[in-house]
Amino acid sequence: MPASSQTRELRANPAFMVLLAARTISMLGMSFAPVALAFGILALPGADAGTLSIVLAAQTIPLVVFMLVGGVIADRHPRALVLRWGQAFTAVAWAAVGVMLLFGNPPLWLLCTAAAVAGMAGATAYPALSGIIPDVVPAHLLQDGNAWLSMGASAARFAGLVASGAVVVWLGGGWAMVVAGALYLIAAVLSGFLPRGGSLARPEESPLRQLRDGWGEFRSRQWLFICVLQWAVMLMVLQASQGVLGPVVAKAELGGAAGWTFVLAGEALGAILGVAIAMVWRPRRPIFVATLLTFGAAAPQLLLGFGAPLWIVVAAAFFMGIGFDLFGVLWMTTMQHEVPPESLSRVASYDALGSLMLGPIGLLLAGPAATLFGPHLALIGTGTISIGTTLFALAFPEVRRLRARTVAADEVAEAA
């Protein structure tokens, strides 16, 4: 089917268009957080890299711990409802952080509490989003649907990063966090218009039994298990480099929030191109191609570590963005084709749990590493580890050999 016909079919699907709008606006809200939170915290009296590490870890730890619970909830209850409440609680949490930053010097424990609420909300929203896509998009349009959702997210991320950088520079991190909360609230309202649907998992089964079944689906696929292990370590070093070490270097040498915004915006622009490529490219071995693309994650870290000029770091972030969003579309589409629909949210939660589980360690170690070794040497270390994770994943046969599933002609006709 030509790409234009697929796009027209997606545009004629009201549920998909609502999902696209809600997802795009929520990503716009999410894109305000990295710059606003990092420089809002660092601007507080007495705050340093260690303070930022603690607040970010307070968000990430609940996100990881509650991810499996979120997967079970999203398979047992209408995914649209779970998604809406997840976005609503995120809105409240980020708005609260913004208000605290606006009105003085809030205690660290209170900032950490609000960040933890945002983490728990994300732990329910992510599995619901992963599972709801095949609920509203026919099987033969999944890669196109995933690509359009990623395109909206990437465009929103770029616009949000530019806007948040401007707001942080002109008005401060507090106002940027309030805007993030308002955008999440709009996304929650839009999600209320998604079809409620029903539960795909059998409600008579206990949550523990459903968790065991989801684990069985997850561990039975070598490509899935190995790539999640790869991302567990890679995201650990990315959390350290992008959450703490990069902003510290940017504040000292690259113009502060404005310079770091350019780096993140470069990644977001690359993501838009990566999604555009995903709309027309159907590699026969999608996981192999996707894994090769993760080599690009190391470049910005190494360049920052070696003190490269800002424009070179931005260019590296641009190419990293291409690879990451192309990876995301290929990964999500493959998982949606290979995993049974009734288990998809739980498998997505194991995917997210495994990928994120070491993130808090990276955040907590980043501050001490910057103090002990200096941020430059620490960034060289994270980049080297990132390269090693990709080599590890490519050593496994299923990662290299898994073929893309072709939707049968009768499935296309039935969906049409």
Of the ranges 1-5, 169-173, 337-341, the best mean pLDDT one: 337-341
Question: Between residues 255 and 287, which one has the greater pLDDT?
Answer: 287
pLDDT of residue 316 exceeding 60, the answer is yes
Given a cut of 70, whether residue 135 has pLDDT beyond it is yes
Question: How far apart are the C-alpha atoms of 400 and 279, rounded to whole Å?
Answer: 22
Q: What is residue 1's predicted lDDT score, i.e. its pLDDT?
A: 45
Whether 408 has a pLDDT exceeding 80, the answer reads no
- What band does 197 get if pLDDT is binned at 50, 70 and 90? low
Residue 415: pLDDT band with limits 50, 70, 90: very low
The mean-pLDDT minimum among 34-38, 104-108, 220-224, 376-380 falls in 34-38
Cα separation, 176 vs 184, whole angstroms: 13
Q: Do residues 317 and 254 lie in contact, with contact meaning Cβ atoms separated by under 8 Å?
A: no
pLDDT at 243: 82
Instruction: In whole angstroms, give the CA distance from residue 31 to residue 11.
Output: 25
Query: What percentage of the chain has pLDDT greater than the value 90?
Result: 35
Predicted confidence at residue 64, as pLDDT, reads 79
pTM reported for the whole predicted model = 0.73
Instruction: Write down the pLDDT at residue 204.
Output: 55
Residue for token digits 């493959």? 334
Backbone φ and ψ of 355, nearest 5°: -70, -35
User: What pLDDT score was predicted for residue 414?
Assistant: 41
**Other beta carbons within 10 Å of 284:** 10
Mean pLDDT score of the chain: 85
Higher pLDDT, 76 or 184: 184
The predicted model gives 94-104 an average pLDDT of 88
pLDDT band at 3 (very low <50, low <70, confident <90, very high): low
- pLDDT band per the 50, 70, 90 thresholds, residue 334: very high
DSSP string, 312-326: HHHHHHHHHHHHHHH
Give the range among 193-197, 366-370, 389-393 with minimum mean pLDDT: 193-197
* pLDDT at 200 (0 to 100): 52
How far, in Å, CA of 156 to CA of 184, rounded? 13
The CATH class, in words, for 3-415 is: mainly alpha
- Band of pLDDT at residue 416, cut at 50, 70 and 90: very low
Question: Mean per-residue pLDDT for 335-358?
Answer: 84
pLDDT band at 385 (very low <50, low <70, confident <90, very high): very high
Region 288-298: what's the mean pLDDT? 95
Q: What percent of the chain has pLDDT over 70?
A: 94
For residue 413, what pLDDT is reported? 40
Eight-state DSSP code of residue 202: -
pLDDT digits (tens, 9 = 90+) for 8-21: 788 888 888 999 99
3-state secondary structure of 8: helix
The whole-angstrom separation of Cα 106 and Cα 174 is 12
Q: Which of 33-47, 189-203, 233-247, 269-283 has the lowest mean pLDDT?
A: 189-203
Contact 375, 307 (CB under 8 A): no
DSSP state of 396: S
